[in-house]
Amino acid sequence: QLNLSMVFITHDLRVAARLCHRIAVMQRGVVVEIGPAEQVFTRPQHAYTQELLAAIPGRGHAGQAAHGGLGAPVAA
């Protein structure tokens, strides 16, 4: 409506889901998925996005993520 954009950076995906129309998911400084918020939250394509969503309290099974999990080291 106002032709404005805002970059909102958060680790709380529940807040992002309520505030954002489009979501970009970053892993280690690289955008791995971007799209409409509803699509990212209901049909995540990237494994990291799937892990993040599974880690939301009450939504999935935290601690059972694949591919090294969310706590995998950023650098060796």
Give the confidence band of 76 by pLDDT, cuts at 50, 70, 90.
very low
Checking DSSP bridges between strand 30-36 and strand 22-27, what pairing results, if any? antiparallel
Residue range 47-71: average pLDDT?
A: 68
Residue 14 structure tokens? 């529940």
Give the confidence band of 68 by pLDDT, cuts at 50, 70, 90.
very low
**Is the pLDDT at 4 greater than 70, yes or no?**
yes
Question: Which H or E run contains 49?
Answer: helix 47-54
Report yes or no: 26 and 16 within 8 Å, Cβ to Cβ.
Answer: no
**Is the pLDDT at 45 greater than 80, yes or no?**
yes
- CB burial of residue 17 (10 Å; 0-12, 13-18, 19+): middle
Give the confidence band of 56 by pLDDT, cuts at 50, 70, 90.
confident
User: CB count, 10 Å around CB of 55?
Assistant: 18
| Residue 2 confidence (pLDDT) | 86
